[in-house]
Amino acid sequence: MDKSATSHFIKTTAATLGFSFCGIAKADFLVEEAPRLEEWLHRGYQGKMNYLENYFDKRLDPRLLVDGAKSIISVGYNYFPQQDLAQDESFKIAKYAYGEDYHHVVKDKLKELLQAIQMEVGEVGGRVFVDSAPVLERPWALRAGNGWIGKNSLLLNKQMGSFFFLAELIIDLELEYDSPVKDYCGTCTACMDACPTEAIPEPYVVDGSKCISYFTIELKEAIPEEVKGKFENWIFGCDICQDVCPWNRFSKPNTEARFQPNGELKSFTKKDWQEITEEVFQKVFSKSAVKRTKWSGLKRNIEFVLTHPKK
């Protein structure tokens, strides 16, 4: 098979597996990203996420992660829910955490894609990455023509907004490469204006140490007093900058059975959240990304929001 035919096969197979989009970029050094990442870390925007300071060289060059890497296949997997469970009067969790942990769901699909390529082409070496290694997902998705990076630093896609997971398959096979698309954010600053903790200090730059997702998931110690009254009932992650993005009016509900919310979660009241026991937590979130924060972390977040309601 020639490069064009193989690339076409990969994209049609990805679509068959349920991926919303698939683009291909040449595995190379991310020249433009190097100074940006260095500056971002220098400003301390990683907060206590010290792991982001590790593997600086590998983050910028995937060839250091996969021997002989030639192509990066960048895919997106829709997680926009049938029903938005985030009600203003109750506690809220990010939409991506409604169902089964995406790491497992998307990784399974990517492994199938790699196997399909190997069956079609022959011996192909590669690795799948689902938010689990030092791979800069958004710059690769940008290079692969899957969308543009918005002012909230998330990848935006003209057809479906931003409620999707990004993942990569890095292989040692030369393919036909896609070109980046233009930025369609224009003069819009909806995401910047809506962020209650002012975590987007300038367009295309997010101060991770001020993000509600950081406070409710990544931060293991006490939540700082300076953000009290600013969480708007978010207790695991936050969707504010996505919810206000005009491009997300094109979001369509996902069809992935494993992303459907647990029946109990759908009927959770504010009282249920406040009284959640460790036993209930383990039962409802046994396969969910919410497990990352542990029962103790979720209780801390609920307590913080209760003690410091919106001003």
Residues annotated as catalytic are: 131
Residue pair 45/147 in contact by the 8 Å Cβ criterion: no
Distance CA 106, CA 103 (A): 6
3-state secondary structure of 201: coil
**Residues 6+ positions from 188 with CB-CB distance below 8 Å:** 151, 246
DSSP strand E in 220-274: where? 234-236
Please, what is the end-to-end C-alpha distance for the chain in angstroms?
62
Closest-CA residue to 44 (of 209, 198, 272):
209
Element spanning 8, H or E: helix 3-16
| Amino acid code (one letter) for 146 | N
